[in-house]
């Protein structure tokens, strides 16, 4: 990959140079006063980004999967029941985690590209003494945006803790953690939060922390135990150093910069920009005759596009797009993997990235023999962007 190529996959994404400079700066001691205040600020900012003023933030070295594991390991005990609202690949992983931690798992599923039926979820919740329900905000394997507000509120009505996997959504898709009553919002650094891979992040409601405090059995994982991390997060936020395991110092510095940029843009403005970008991409896909994997635009995510290859075109298309300077991702859903590809559009995406990506896809499709009017997709993007101003 050339340094000038555009990385348009569903994470890692393109990062702001100021964030990358923070990452490349001289590493401070994890107990240095400047680092303590940087970490403390990052924690406060994470709370603001998740719109969760009373939540407890956790930032731990690891990937998004660790954030999922922290939620599961701390919130269920062996024999307790967990409901997984399953939209695809990462919901399967959530179910596997619950099983690994001894929970009894019930799943509400839907066909790939569809969203789960909230009424059915509500019926299952009513029938079942669940401790926790999980949903994937944006399913990265299908490009589907789940109705998380309705799901979280349904869980709340039944006294069930709600965990939302926001790895492909946080800071890109509208989410009001506290107003909606979500107990855990979990994410990773490398997607819409705009920081290279390596951090697992969670914001945990007081109710979820109480549930963890009233456990009868110890958390089975040491590294994932809230009990080890809570005093550390509290200390850094209070301006004191504390040690359990060495924080990813440079990543935390980069995170503090990125969260600052996100808050300067403003959450509602940032969500709206991701919607505008998604709508511009959708105009291009229509012009190119590409069908999206989500069954309708109303359930399609704004942080990535999942698109079927057109007739006569296969995964070799991605190599052709890369020759045009843009890196895209293949399919991920086990049932459909070979039939579709994905375009990530998170973090620092604007008109320039959209036009460059659409132009590259248009040229690659033409080279692959797919017929479309040259420039039609780019024109459709321009029309959409000009109309959205």
Ligand X SMILES: *Cc1c(COP(=O)(O)O)cnc(C)c1O
List residues binding ligand X (CB under 6 A).
Answer: 11, 63-65, 90, 136, 140, 165, 167-168, 188
Q: How far is the CB of 17 from ligand X (least distance, A)?
A: 23
Q: How far is the CB of 198 from ligand X (least distance, A)?
A: 9
Q: How far is the CB of 166 from ligand X (least distance, A)?
A: 7
Q: How far is the CB of 129 from ligand X (least distance, A)?
A: 27
Quick count: other Cβ atoms within 10 Å of Cβ 329?
18
Closer residue to ligand X (CB): 125 or 144: 144
Closer residue to ligand X (CB): 87 or 250: 87
Closer residue to ligand X (CB): 11 or 147: 11
Q: How far is the CB of 63 from ligand X (least distance, A)?
A: 3
Q: How far is the CB of 251 from ligand X (least distance, A)?
A: 13
Closer residue to ligand X (CB): 192 or 385: 192
Q: How far is the CB of 141 from ligand X (least distance, A)?
A: 8
Q: How far is the CB of 191 from ligand X (least distance, A)?
A: 6
Closer residue to ligand X (CB): 115 or 283: 115
Closer residue to ligand X (CB): 136 or 382: 136
Closer residue to ligand X (CB): 69 or 353: 69
Closer residue to ligand X (CB): 63 or 261: 63
Q: How far is the CB of 334 from ligand X (least distance, A)?
A: 15
Alpha-carbon span 334 to 113, nearest angstrom: 13
Closer residue to ligand X (CB): 148 or 168: 168
Task: Find the residue with minimal CB distance to ligand X.
Answer: 64
Three state DSSP letters for the chain = CCCCCEECCCCCCCCCHHHHHHHHCCCCCCCCHHHHHHHHHHHHHHHHHCCCCCCEEEEEECCHHHHHHHHHHHHCCCCCEEEEEECCHHHHHHHHHHHHCCCEEEEEECCCCCCCCHHHHHHHHHCCCCCEEEEECEECCCCEECCHHHHHHHHHHCCCEEEEECCCCCCCCCCCHHHHCCCEEEEECCCCCCCCCCEEEEEECHHHHHHHHCCCCCCCCCCCCHHHHHHHHHHHHCCCCCCCCCCCHHHHHHHHHHHHHHHHHCHHHHHHHHHHHHHHHHHHHHHHCCCECCCCHHHECCCEEEEECCCCCCCHHHHHHHHCCEECEECCCCCCHHHEEEEECCCCCCHHHHHHHHHHHHHHHHHCCCCCCCCHHHHHHHHHHHHHC
């Amino acid at each position: 990959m050339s340094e000038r190529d555009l990385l348009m996959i569903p994470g890692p994404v393109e990062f702001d140079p100021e964030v990358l400079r923070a990452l490349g700066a001289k590493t401070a001691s994890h107990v240095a006063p400047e680092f303590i205040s940087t970490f403390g600020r990052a924690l406060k900012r994470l709370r603001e980004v998740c719109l969760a003023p009373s939540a407890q933030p956790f930032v731990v070295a690891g990937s998004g999967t660790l954030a999922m594991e922290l939620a599961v390991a701390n919130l269920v005990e062996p024999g307790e029941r967990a409901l997984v609202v399953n939209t695809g690949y990462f919901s399967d992983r959530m179910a596997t985690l619950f099983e690994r931690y001894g929970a009894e798992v019930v799943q509400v599923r839907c066909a790939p590209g569809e969203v789960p039926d909230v009424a059915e979820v509500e019926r299952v919740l009513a029938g079942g003494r669940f401790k926790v329900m999980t949903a994937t905000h944006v399913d990265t394997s299908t490009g589907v945006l789940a109705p998380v507000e309705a799901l979280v509120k349904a869980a709340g009505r039944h006294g069930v803790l709600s965990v939302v996997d926001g790895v492909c959504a946080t800071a890109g898709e509208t989410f009001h953690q506290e107003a909606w009553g979500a107990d855990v919002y979990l994410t990773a650094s490398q997607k819409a939060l705009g920081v290279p891979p390596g951090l697992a992040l969670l914001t945990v409601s007081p109710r979820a922390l109480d549930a963890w405090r009233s456990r009868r059995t110890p958390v089975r994982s040491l590294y994932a135990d809230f009990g080890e991390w809570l005093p550390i997060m509290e200390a850094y936020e209070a301006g004191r150093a504390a040690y359990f395991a060495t924080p990813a110092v440079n990543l935390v510095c980069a995170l503090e910069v990125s969260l600052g940029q996100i808050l300067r843009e403003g959450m509602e403005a940032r969500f709206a920009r991701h919607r505008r970008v998604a709508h511009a991409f959708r105009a291009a896909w229509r012009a190119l005759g590409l069908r999206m994997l989500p069954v309708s635009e109303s359930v399609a995510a704004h942080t990535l596009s999942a698109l079927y290859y057109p007739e006569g075109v296969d995964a070799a298309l991605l190599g052709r797009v890369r020759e045009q300077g843009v890196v895209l991702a293949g399919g991920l859903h086990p049932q459909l993997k070979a039939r579709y590809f994905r375009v990530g559009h998170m973090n620092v995406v604007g008109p320039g990235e959209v036009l460059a990506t659409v132009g590259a896809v248009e040229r690659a499709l033409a080279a692959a023999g797919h017929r479309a009017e040259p420039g039609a997709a780019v024109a459709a993007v321009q029309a959409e962007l000009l109309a959205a101003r």
